[in-house]
């Protein structure tokens, strides 16, 4: 897979291995954004003039593409700023309406902070309880433990589809079955899954699914909440303002149907068009092909790092596009700094997953994550950089 030429922000000789944080943008996405601002820009859902009508059609076509990508229906997609806002929307709207003191939520040890703090804010307001599912020794959410923990008091299970630190892939169908067996809903954080794996929310059987555009080779500031139509229809608005209304008087306001009810104010119009271009880009390559490409790079990386006796690997061998590791006696920030001197860009830190770091017994990890623009040469550059780290630190 040779897609490097599509990405103008990656110069020759630079190994960009931080796609799990944010993906670089291919030229078709850049062109779509430039064209939208420079040639076709107008507001949506408001204007009676032709350009506004055309932009409205383009905006709604982006919604249809966002639904198609994960096997949903167009009326089940809410545009948000990103997965963080999507989880907060569910917590405040659905959770604030349907959860009460004594109800329980099940999370896991590997969740991103956005899938922890959002529920803690709701807990502090309503008195719900949060339980935490442990991990298997190789870094997967332990669904056997989840099954033993779940009770009829649990109203929601909220898990990452793919861990942003370990790359471990959740058995999502089993997670849905376990949640539904006790009457709970299942929310999946798909930020790391959607750019790497085929996703079909119908086949999974989940109730909520969230993802961000910028990890999918699209722009920042745009993302999606998918929820079953009947669930969205029963949720109250998250914010108030223009667009999300039916009729406003000082005595009473009635609201538009979902998903419009959840999109107050002028939306990120150009972001949606950029997201559409990104979806077209990955679909043209094929998510099966992307997954196979990244799996091969993960295998190459883990095999190479396993041969360095000062390196500890985290997560399973079949991780999806992500390899986290530690170098004995060297802080991950120092690893990242030295690698950067050799034009290798990785992430170093807690990756917005401090409870997972505690579970792993480390303050932080170094993380290499792959995209369609990476190849074996990037893995070789990473290994050379780590050999230099070992020489510097003895």
**Sign of the alpha-carbon torsion through 42, 48, 49, 53:** positive
Separation of alpha carbons 186 and 106, rounded Å? 10
SS3 content of the chain, % helix, strand, coil (to 5): 45, 20, 40
Answer yes or no: 352 catalytic. yes
- Selection from 209, 114, 220, 207 nearest residue 161 by Cα: 209
Separation of alpha carbons 17 and 27, rounded Å? 19
CA distances from 207 to 127, 189, 279 (A): 23, 11, 22
Q: Is 128 helix (H, G, I), strand (E, B) or coil?
A: coil
Structure-token match 């796609």, residue found: 19
Structure token pair of residue 294 = 């990244």
Structure token pair of residue 232 = 């969205």
Half-sphere exposure of 323 (CA within 13 A, CB side): 27
Given 133, 206, 224, 352, the catalytic residue = 352
* Residue 277 near residue 28 (C-beta atoms within 8 A): yes
Kind and range of the H or E run holding 231: helix 229-233
Per-position b or e across 216-226, b if 16+ CB within 10 A of its CB: bbbbbbbbbbb
Structure token pair of residue 82 = 């990103």
Per-position b or e across 294-330, b if 16+ CB within 10 A of its CB: bbebbebbbebbeebeebbbbbbeebbbbbbbbbeeb
Work out the angle at residue 76's Cα, subtended by the Cα atoms of residues 70 and 77, and round it to the nearest 5 degrees.
70
Structure-token match 């932080």, residue found: 364
The DSSP output letter for 17 is -
* Residue 132 near residue 123 (C-beta atoms within 8 A): no
CA distances from 366 to 282, 326, 334, 373 (A): 27, 6, 10, 20
Which residue numbers are catalytic?
Answer: 352
């Amino acid at each position: 897979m040779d897609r490097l030429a599509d990405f103008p922000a990656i110069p020759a000789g630079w190994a960009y291995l931080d796609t799990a944080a944010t993906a670089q943008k291919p030229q078709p996405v850049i062109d779509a954004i430039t064209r939208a601002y420079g040639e076709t820009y107008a507001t949506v859902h408001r204007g009676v003039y032709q350009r506004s009508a055309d932009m409205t059609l383009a905006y709604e076509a982006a919604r249809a593409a966002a639904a198609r990508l994960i096997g949903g229906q167009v009326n089940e997609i809410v545009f948000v700023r990103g997965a963080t806002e999507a989880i907060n929307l569910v917590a405040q709207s659905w959770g604030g309406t349907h959860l009460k003191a004594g109800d329980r939520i099940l999370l896991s040890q590997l969740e991103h902070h956005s899938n922890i703090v959002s529920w803690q804010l709701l807990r502090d307001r309503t008195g719900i309880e949060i339980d935490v599912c442990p991990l298997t020794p190789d870094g997967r959410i332990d669904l056997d433990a989840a099954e033993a923990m779940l009770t009829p008091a649990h109203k929601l299970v909220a898990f990452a589809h793919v861990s942003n630190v370990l790359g471990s892939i959740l058995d999502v169908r089993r997670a849905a079955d376990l949640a539904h067996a006790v009457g709970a809903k299942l929310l999946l954080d798909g930020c790391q899954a959607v750019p790497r794996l085929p996703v079909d929310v119908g086949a999974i059987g989940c109730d909520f699914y969230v993802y961000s555009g910028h990890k999918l080779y699209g722009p920042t500031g745009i993302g999606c909440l998918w929820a079953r139509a009947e669930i969205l229809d029963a949720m109250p608005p998250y914010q108030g303002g223009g667009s999300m209304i039916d009729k406003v008087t000082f005595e009473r306001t009635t609201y538009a149907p979902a998903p419009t009810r959840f999109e107050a104010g002028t939306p990120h119009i150009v972001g949606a068009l950029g997201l559409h271009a990104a979806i077209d880009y990955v679909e043209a390559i094929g998510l099966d092909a992307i997954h196979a490409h990244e799996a091969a790079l993960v295998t190459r990386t883990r095999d190479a790092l396993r041969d360095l006796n000062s390196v500890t690997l985290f997560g399973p061998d079949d991780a999806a596009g992500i390899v986290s590791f530690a170098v004995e006696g060297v802080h991950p920030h120092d690893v990242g700094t030295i690698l950067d001197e050799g034009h290798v860009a990785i992430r170093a830190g807690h990756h917005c997953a401090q409870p997972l770091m505690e579970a792993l017994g480390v303050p932080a990890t170094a993380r290499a994550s792959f995209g369609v623009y990476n190849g074996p040469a990037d893995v070789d550059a990473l290994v050379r950089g780590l050999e230099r780290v070992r020489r510097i630190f003895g």
